[in-house]
Chain A
Amino acid sequence: MTKYLVSRVLRGLLSVIIVVGVVMVLIYSCLDRNLIFANDPVFSKHKSNAQEVYKMQQWEYYGYVDYVPYADFMQQLVSSGEITQPEFDAAIKFGNRAQQDSPAAAEYVRRFSEGYEAEGYTVVRLEGKTRGNTNKYLDGGEPRLYAYRDVPLLSRLWNYLTGLIRVDNIHAVQGDVGKRGLTFTLYDPAYGGEKFSPAIMGNGTVHKYLLYFDDRFPYLHQNLVTISLGKSYSVNKGIDVYHTMTDSQGARDMTMITYPSGNVEMSADDIHTAVYVAGSLAEGDAVVKRNFVDDYTSVTTRKMGLSKLGYSFVIGIISVLLAYALAIPLGILMALKKDKLPDKLGTVYIVFVMAVPSLAYIFLFKAIGEHLGLPTTFDMESPTWLMYVLPVISLALPSVANLMKWLRRYMIDQMNADYVKFARAGGLSESGIFRSHVLKNAIIPIVHGIPASVLGVLVGAIITERVYVVPGAGNLLTRAINFYDNGVIVGVTLFYAVVSVVSVILGDVLMSIMDPRISFTSKEG
């Protein structure tokens, strides 16, 4: 069994990697990359050569190309000590046209072009555009020289996958940070140093706190292993998808906190998220200097609301529990009263949910809810339990129909099976047959779907969250697609794929636990 599971997990991982590769090909190679400028006001402000350079810079930022301007190449030569500052100054300025280059510039331009062309780059030289016969450049018409190439798929994939998981260690940051090492404390200084709260802190690590307790679910937190699914370019600029999904939202949560300097004040800063930023204390403003004693100054703020994933999970998990709690008794009732009123009513309901577009009945629920005076939009600022009612119902009722349909089918199939007839002929009571034979067998395929529906709630619900304005994870992908946010698209896809692969494997495991006849090890045959 273990061997089988390991091979399943490995094959699952492989298909997740292929999925990420396919998605990368789709968004980086198939899409017209000029589309990202369609709604960019900055793009049209740039003219002539400057516009070309702006395009390149944006494409590099969005991850399409490797872009190297001539100046960067020269700067690198200086910092590596290959050329001196005077040589740099002589060669950095190149002419409007290749013929007008000074001898020094011509030499380095040649080296630049040959070097990058050999590596598969395309070298572009945009000639200077002057106004008439004067020496004045047109708007954005300065000469430009740069090299670029598309990032190859395999190296893109490799870089992405290797950057996914990072383990923090005491040699993670460069520069002078004092004595590197880990400290263990029983009294977390963030609580004033008197409250009992164990924590592991590091110096030389990226995060100051590696393990700590606080008052938020799941209470014990760690920063030792960080996941980076990919940076967002436009949806949530500069923030990793992982944080976009898991950081709390809404109004700031102000509490009395003790800063590392000992300063106590009302603030929403979460000291536990402190990250090292080189030189930030020396360059920081008065507030930073008052509160911090080292370069671990970059903190996130605590917000009142849940994270995107949190809202999707809360709504989803309640609706899943509700769906199973309703569907199992109702499905059993339909099967027991086959062709009678309960079965017919249930069938009408199932047909309604199966056939009618989901959008239609979600709007119907919304309209009904509005008549009943339930809140129809989600408000993070003044949360009430009532605002969960409509989204939960909209999610639960369709899955009730689906579960009922299948449970009824499986039950009726089992009730017509020969072993049931035999049991009845043998004199077993109807309720005994039902409980220990029919239900037990019929529930197995239902059990297989449980991990998928529990984990599936993490993915969120697109329409429900849109209709009720829930700040959940469901709309992340559609928003990212609309904003051409490639980092988010790849990150979210990876997340979806992992969820789906894991839930299928867990479903199989759960099924084989429920039904000892099912064994995956001897399946070959």
Chain B
Amino acid sequence: MEELIDLREFGMSDEELFSPADRDELASERITAPKYSYWSSVFRVFFRKKLNIFLLVLLAVIVAFTYIYPAVIGYDSAVDPYVNLLDPTAKHLMPAQAMEKFGGELKWILGSGASGQSTFDAIWYGSSISLSLALVCALINMTIGVAVGAIWGFSRKVDRFMTEVYNVVANVPYILLISVIVLILSASFWTMVFALTVTGWIGIAYFIRTQVIIIRDREYNLASRCLGTPLHRIAMKNILPFMTSVIVTLAATEIPSYISYEVFLSFIGMGLGDMSLGKLIEASQNAMLTPGWELEFWSPVAVASIITVVLYVVGQNLGDASDPRTHL
């Protein structure tokens, strides 16, 4: 009652105030919903969680140490691991002893390993190999897997054929295939990439195929097809947006899984020739049981675990955020 507007404030005559306004045809057509942009909503939802910001910072630190640190210190994998090879007092040192011997540099913060090398440097060089391997393999497998899986899901003819191919390929022991390829082509980085991708995409393709089949026959796609939408438009506009969060979530599990797989392969003696994280763990596994040497074994294990956990959680949360249903 108190908040009645005093019309005299406007300083207009009654005629001016009460004249009928023109009907604006254009304005009545405008939809007044707030402006929506998919990717800005994804990042808005993603950064709403404080944990994600922390994890991203952690990831940035890890990536910096993995790729920038070895370059900054000029790490040479052919020289640096062996500089103290002939000095028996440099081997298997605890951090405190190593710092006392070599000075308080950052590289001795984790002590020294079996040939007197810095565990800290070896870990970051190893993780650069492991992480690159995981990223390259995931990129190749995801690209081929999603493309093939989409076609596989759409075409019934392709489905019948590919399902039989899948039954065969999935039953050839993965370890056998990898070891045969490694034996034929020598254990280099790109051999490993080839071995992990030559059949690795088929599992992803199968997963995508199942997702496509589920969405393909949903009512809205049926309706869209009845209205005469061409197939590629249905694929690009109706199904792909739906798949974004699935693909992001899948990538989030794929990248860490290649790191784990590399560790596993190195452990059973079928891994890379380079000193990757897996090779480091394998080479130092006897140090685990020797008192005072545990750090040599546990620090690469811990770094591998931290990298995989951070990648996994960031990826899962990004996958959640890229699901449009969480944008409300």
Contacts and interface: CB of A to CB of B under 8 A. Distances in A.
Q: Do A and B bind each other?
A: yes
Contacts of A354: 253, 256, 312
Interface string B244-283: 0000000001001001100110011110000000000100
Contacts of B183: 31-32, 35
Interface stretch (A238-246, A477-485, A514-522): A477-485
Nearest to B309: A355
Contacts of A463: 264, 267-268
Given A26-B180, A32-B183, A355 B171 contact: no
B309 A31 contact: no
A15 B171 CA distance: 9
Nearest to B294: A367
13 contacts: A15-B167, A16-B171, A19-B171, A31-B183, A351-B309, A354-B256, A356-B305, A357-B259, A357-B264, A360-B281, A463-B264, A466-B267, A496-B173
Interface string B142-185: 00000000000000000000001001101111011101100110
A496 B176 CA distance: 12
Nearest to B281: A359
Nearest to B268: A478
B60 interface: no
Contacts of A493: 172-173, 176
Contacts of B98: none
Contacts of A466: 267-268
Contacts of A356: 260, 304-305, 308-309
B184 A30 contact: yes
A257 interface: no
Given A355-B256, A478-B268, A19 B168 contact: yes
A482 B256 CA distance: 27
What are the 5 A-B residue pairs with the smallest beta carbon separation, nearest first?
A: A355-B312, A357-B260, A15-B167, A497-B171, A357-B263
A51 interface: no
Interface string A458-477: 00001100100000000001
Contact of A359 (B164, B167, B173, B264): B264
B305 A477 contact: no
B243 interface: no
B301 interface: yes
Contact of B173 (A15, A360, A477): A477
Given A32-B184, A477-B176, A355 B311 contact: yes
B177 to A, nearest CB: 7
B58 interface: no
A32 B185 CA distance: 10
Chain A interface, >50% SS class? helix
Nearest to A494: B171
Nearest to B310: A355
Contacts of B167: 11-12, 15, 501
Interface in A354-407: 354-360, 363, 367
Contact of B171 (A26, A363, A496): A496
A351 B268 contact: no
A30 B180 contact: yes
Contacts of A321: none
B305 A19 contact: no
B288 interface: yes
Contacts of A77: none
A360 B311 contact: no
Interface string A137-155: 0000000000000000000
A354 B253 CA distance: 8
Nearest to B266: A359
B270 to A, nearest CB: 8
Contact of A26 (B170, B176, B264, B281): B176
Given A15-B168, A26-B180, A462-B268, A359 B175 contact: no
Interface in A322-365: 351-352, 354-360, 363
Nearest to A475: B268
B280 to A, nearest CB: 12
Contacts of B171: 15-16, 19, 496-497, 500-501
A481 B183 CA distance: 10
Contacts of B259: 357
A19 B269 CA distance: 24
B239 interface: no
Contacts of A497: 171
A74 interface: no
B313 interface: yes
B301 A360 contact: yes
A457 interface: no
Contacts of A481: 175-176, 179, 270
